[in-house]
Structure 1
Amino acid sequence: MERFADKVILVWGFKRALLAVLAGAFAVLALPPIGFFAAMFISFTLLVWLIDGAAASPEASFLGRLWPSFAIGWLFGFGYFVAGLWWLGHALLIDSEEFAWALPLAILGLPAVLAVYYGLATAIARIFWSDGMGRIAALAASFGLFEWLRSVTFTGFPWNAIGYGMMPMPLMMQSAHVIGAMGVTALAVFVFAAPALLGTRQGAAWGVGLATLLFAAHLGYGAYALYVAPKASPVPEEKRPVIRLVQPMIDQAAKMDSDADRSAIFETHLKLSAAPPQSGGRKPDIIVWPETAIPFILTDNQDALTRIADTLDDNQILIAGAVRAEEMGPGNPVRYYNSIIVIDGRGQIVAASDKVHLVPFGEYLPFENFLNDLGIQNIVEMPGGFSASATRHLLELPTGLKLYPLVCYEIIFPDEMTGDIAEAGAILNITNDAWFGNTPGPYQHFQQARVRAVETGLPLIRDGNSGISAIVNAHGQIVAGLGLNETGFADATLEGFGGGASDSFPRQTYFWLTETLLLLIGSISRMGFIFKAN
């Protein structure tokens, strides 16, 4: 292994750049739908060796000495994000005549920007670089920091954070309840990079030993949480609400077509909602439709509310994604919101919640006036785009159940699971992943949603137009659901609700403690390396 490590360290020029890109791309095999987490051991081992060989001229300035490491990290990140996010281009092909020109920006431009975070991570890690285990700890701390920054800066986009590669199944998700997805990310980089020590021999025993211990603890806590510590649901089976997830599989092009038969789309949802339970089960108490399921402004269509009332029993509740319009007074434009609406059995809207975290270029256009002058429009056709709600509040159903509402990709942001979530009985996530077709995107989205359930200790109700729709318990296990591109409905009782979010672990605090310990190991090792060199 030492001979192979030497070859990687000494590789140069185009071959070096290509190896960095391929190492990043190979790491994507750890993500859904494949979930081969061992791929990241290879990728991060190669990354460490490439940084080992990232030498600058002795006369270079401080920043100049960091540049080779930044370049390696950027190339690694570029490969990772191109291979992991290429499917974003599928959304532009829904209206290819209008947006095909932007394909290179989605497939190559966005990865090039996101790769800067990984470039900065490797550059900062290089400051603390040493021969032994310390450089692995420094790399882990730096990746943890910049993955967190990626989740909060410039509206944030923490999609496919490295830690998700360490969480392909519920057994390996439970650590997120203690240290959060970002804490798992930091420790995952340490574990994934540890084999690099076997190729350079420096600190191999300590580093590989500690990585083995961390990985064993990761699996051990998962087994404990799933099989040793489970508690009975606070609500008896017969009193748990039956949830029906409606997955209509409406083609996205048809939803965007102004000439489409919107009545037919609406009736498809109603038909699936009214279908009798399978296998003689209980009728659903709560029926869930996906994001923007209602193809018109509901408050302008009293007939639609009447049809919903005719479909529902008096004690049934419909939760549906819809566009909400708000009049702002004479001379002012109408504001549109991507909303979740709750309708009772009499056809009355009894609760609503608007999306807070909008998708840039999808639901709103940054620098709108300037970009409109260049002919650039939102992907979602809405005059002026959507407006964002200033705050998020719980959806309280007539039954008393409180849901924490998240529309589409809002669920990928760990730091946004705050506020009154402690009072929620479950997380509600509605989405429309039909934008991305049969690609890895919907699978990646679903995995991140499951991890939010584990982090918060709340069950998850997730409904998508084309899937993946599921009832997920607080341990990330699927209770019932429908796969990608299936049409139909799934009924299941909601498990584990009623106690509110589990706040027994201060995840943010533990994340920063993890970062501090890793940085401390890196710093001490670096100081020892300097003293040894002198």
Structure 2
Amino acid sequence: MFTRAALPSWIALVGGALFPFALAPYFLWPLGLISLGTLFYALQKSNTGKTAFKRAWLFGLGQFGLGVSWIYVSMHDHGGTPAWLAVPAVALFAGFLALIPGFWFLLRQKLSGHSLAAFSFASYWLLQEWCRSWFLTGFPWLYAGDAHLFTWLSGWAPVSGAYVISFILALTAASLVIVVQTRNWVYLMPLLLWPAGDALKQINWTHATGTMSVGVVQGNVEQNRKWLNEEIFPTIDRYQADTRPLLGNDLILWPETAITLLYQRYQPYMELFAEELQENNSTVITGIPFRWPRGTELEGEYHNSIIAFGDGEGVYHKQRLVPFGEYIPLESAIRGLIPFFDLPMSSFRAGEIDQDLLKVTVHQGDSTELALVAPYICYEIAYPDLVLETAKNADLLVTISNDAWFGDSLGPKQHMALAQMRALETGRWILRSTNTGISALVNHKGEITDRIPVSERTSFSSIAERRTGETLYMKIGVLPLLCFAFTLIALATLIQRKGRGETAL
């Protein structure tokens, strides 16, 4: 297995395993360049589609095998799946995800071979990331660009999001490999895109229209007891008690399914607490399960939802559901096979597109204004397209989650970083509340301004900016970048078809 011919495959596998260390919480971004460089090198040594597929798949196996290893915690520690089954299940998931880069780089080998090598590599890397954002509901996680919240390249995020940063990284990594191989320094030209990003950071894409006082409650409810019947009312009491010291803030945010009682059953308690909130000019936004009542078209259907009550109003139903966590694919065939497929609240229905934003009353002395708040539940903050669309008319973004499912693993840290990237892309402040952490306030530059220690029952108050305007990314989306990538691919394919041989850039 350790033959000279097998060396590029091993390099691809090890390079993929390096990839997650470029992302949160490590942010060792040079490892991202090295990782992408190993994939480019391995593909350079591939002369057939089959070999290109194998090496890209091995890279993806290393990337996802380590990068999404946190799924093991939810399956084993909280889902009741034995270790002997949870480990291969995570490996199977990683292997499935790795099929996506495998497919795209097989296509690259078939269509364009090694023509325009660096540009085609960057283009196909972009396309495989974009594909993961929608294929089978999408898994927009572990993007190369997400490693660059704090580098020069972060200036590109408002232009075309993490996608364009990923493209620049792949182009840079491939170019550096070519420079090492050829000693031709002209191939360092893509490095000019890095200081250009620093210059872009000086642009204020959005502008402040005012402020609002905000608070976050982190309940730190034990995950293994959260859904027990005897915990329902103690949990309600906990959140209401922890909220009272924050009264007077315009907005107070509770986590995903902070209330484990159905919305309709919680209403009597909500109305009593709403009176207290209104007296103190405060709005609570919380996660809660919602079931459609009798007589409605969707009678009996469940949603993972957000409600605003007190001095504000609105209901939002989650649109992007987590497979196996919030709905079970092929439910009739696999429900009941293992405890993980029978988790509480795993039969949700996806919410409709174009739901109304939540409304929060903002008090400025004797005057009041209405703030529009765009809500995202857990996994939804990972979807750039969803966040871009709903953020356009919002003054503030809020995201709620229950990352207790994943313990003290990479998952919650990666999740927090995704929220920071969405703040950069939209030029909006984001308020985030989770059950056990990370709960924080993020400014429009993607910087955390306030946060709560992990695994503590506590809260904080702060001031958030309300902002308006659109970044370039919000105006044009990812389509121009995709068109550019497809143009490069078409050119590389044309060169290959005309038999002009290898071209580096």
TM over 0.5: yes
- Contact map agreement 1:170 1:476 (CA 8 A) in 2: no
CA shift in 2, pair 1:466/1:377, >3 Å = closer
Compute the displacement of 1:302 (Å): 4.9
User: Which residue of 2 is the match for residue 103 of structure 1?
Assistant: 86
Render the CA deviation track for 1:244-263: whole Å, top value 9, x for unaligned.
0111111211213x254322
What amino acid maps onto 1:206 in structure 2?
V
What amino acid maps onto 1:294 in structure 2?
I
Q: Distance in 2 between matches of 1:175 and 1:332?
A: 43
Q: Structure 2 matches for 1:366-381, cutoff 5 A?
A: 366-372=329-335, 374=337, 378-381=341-344
Q: Structure 2 matches for 1:311-322, cutoff 5 A?
A: 311-314=276-279, 315-322=281-288
Compute the displacement of 1:140 (Å): 0.5
CA shift in 2, pair 1:86/1:377, >3 Å = closer
Q: Distance in 1 between matches of 2:277 and 2:466?
A: 26
CA shift in 2, pair 1:151/1:449, >3 Å = same
Q: Structure 2 matches for 1:64-213, cutoff 5 A?
A: 65-98=48-81, 102-126=85-109, 127-130=111-114, 134-165=116-147, 167-169=148-150, 172-201=153-182, 204-208=184-188, 210-213=189-192
CA shift in 2, pair 1:532/1:379, >3 Å = closer
1:386 and 2:345 matched: no
CA shift in 2, pair 1:259/1:232, >3 Å = closer
Once the two structures are overlaid, the 10-residue window that deviates more, 475-484 or 134-143, is: 475-484
- Contact map agreement 2:413 2:438 (CA 8 A) in 1: yes
User: Which residue of 2 is the match for residue 412 of structure 1?
Assistant: 382
What amino acid maps onto 1:17 in structure 2?
S
Q: Distance in 1 between matches of 2:50 and 2:502?
A: 25
Partner SS, residue 236 of structure 2: helix
TM-score (normalised: structure 2)? 0.89
What amino acid maps onto 1:211 in structure 2?
P
Render the CA deviation track for 1:182-210: whole Å, top value 9, x for unaligned.
222222211122221123207x42322x2
TM-score (normalised: structure 1)? 0.84
Return the match for 2:421 from 451, 471, 474.
451
CA shift in 2, pair 1:170/1:476, >3 Å = farther
What amino acid maps onto 2:213 in structure 1?
V
Partner SS, residue 136 of structure 2: coil
Q: Distance in 2 between matches of 1:231 and 1:372?
A: 47
Return the match for 2:430 from 445, 448, 460.
460
More strand by share: 2
Compute the displacement of 1:119 (Å): 1.1
1:242 and 2:210 matched: no
CA shift in 2, pair 1:476/1:514, >3 Å = farther
User: Which residue of 1 is the match for residue 365 of structure 2?
Assistant: none
1:12 and 2:5 matched: yes
User: Which residue of 2 is the match for residue 360 of structure 1?
Assistant: 323
What amino acid maps onto 1:12 in structure 2?
A
Render the CA deviation track for 1:222-241: whole Å, top value 9, x for unaligned.
3x23xxx4876222xxxx22
Q: Distance in 2 between matches of 1:206 and 1:518?
A: 19
Q: Structure 2 matches for 1:338-349, cutoff 5 A?
A: 338-344=304-310
Q: Distance in 2 between matches of 1:459 and 1:331?
A: 37
The percentage of counterpart residues that share the same residue type is 25
Q: Distance in 2 between matches of 1:79 and 1:147?
A: 16
Unmatched 5+ stretches in structure 2: 362-369
Q: Distance in 1 between matches of 2:130 and 2:440?
A: 28
- Contact map agreement 2:156 2:197 (CA 8 A) in 1: yes
User: Which residue of 2 is the match for residue 3 of structure 1?
Assistant: none
- Contact map agreement 2:275 2:310 (CA 8 A) in 1: no
Once the two structures are overlaid, the 10-residue window that deviates more, 97-106 or 29-38, is: 97-106
User: Which residue of 2 is the match for residue 291 of structure 1?
Assistant: 256
CA shift in 2, pair 1:472/1:74, >3 Å = same
Q: Structure 2 matches for 1:223-262, cutoff 5 A?
A: 224-225=202-203, 229=204, 233-235=208-210, 240-256=211-227, 258-262=228-232
What amino acid maps onto 1:175 in structure 2?
W
Compute the displacement of 1:476 (Å): 1.1
Render the CA deviation track for 1:111-137: whole Å, top value 9, x for unaligned.
101111111232233242337xx2111
Partner SS, residue 209 of structure 2: coil
CA shift in 2, pair 1:182/1:531, >3 Å = closer
Q: Distance in 1 between matches of 2:417 and 2:502?
A: 45
Partner SS, residue 104 of structure 2: helix
1:491 and 2:461 matched: yes
User: Which residue of 1 is the match for residue 359 of structure 2?
Assistant: 397
Partner SS, residue 173 of structure 1: helix
Q: Distance in 2 between matches of 1:500 and 1:378?
A: 43
Q: Structure 2 matches for 1:38-57, cutoff 5 A?
A: 38-55=30-47
Q: Distance in 2 between matches of 1:259 and 1:327?
A: 21
Unmatched 5+ stretches in structure 1: 1-7, 56-64, 278-282
User: Which residue of 1 is the match for residue 26 of structure 2?
Assistant: 34
- Contact map agreement 1:183 1:510 (CA 8 A) in 2: no
User: Which residue of 1 is the match for residue 233 of structure 2?
Assistant: 263
User: Which residue of 2 is the match for residue 474 of structure 1?
Assistant: 444
Compute the displacement of 1:467 (Å): 1.5
What amino acid maps onto 2:142 in structure 1?
N
Render the CA deviation track for 1:334-372: whole Å, top value 9, x for unaligned.
221111011115xxx832111111111111111211223
Q: Distance in 1 between matches of 2:326 and 2:318?
A: 10
What amino acid maps onto 2:197 in structure 1?
H
What amino acid maps onto 1:220 in structure 2?
A
Q: Distance in 2 between matches of 1:270 and 1:234?
A: 31
CA shift in 2, pair 1:252/1:373, >3 Å = closer
Q: Distance in 2 between matches of 1:276 and 1:179?
A: 38
Compute the displacement of 1:402 (Å): 0.9
Partner SS, residue 397 of structure 1: strand
Q: How many residues align?
A: 491
Q: Distance in 2 between matches of 1:506 and 1:519?
A: 21
Compute the displacement of 1:25 (Å): 0.4
Partner SS, residue 417 of structure 1: helix
Q: Distance in 1 between matches of 2:267 and 2:40?
A: 62
Q: Distance in 1 between matches of 2:340 and 2:456?
A: 31
Once the two structures are overlaid, the 10-residue window that deviates more, 37-46 or 414-423, is: 414-423
Partner SS, residue 26 of structure 2: coil
What amino acid maps onto 1:128 in structure 2?
S
Compute the displacement of 1:522 (Å): 3.8
Compute the displacement of 1:490 (Å): 1.7
What amino acid maps onto 2:288 in structure 1?
A
Q: Distance in 2 between matches of 1:19 and 1:88?
A: 25
CA shift in 2, pair 1:521/1:486, >3 Å = farther
- Contact map agreement 2:33 2:169 (CA 8 A) in 1: no
Compute the displacement of 1:427 (Å): 1.5
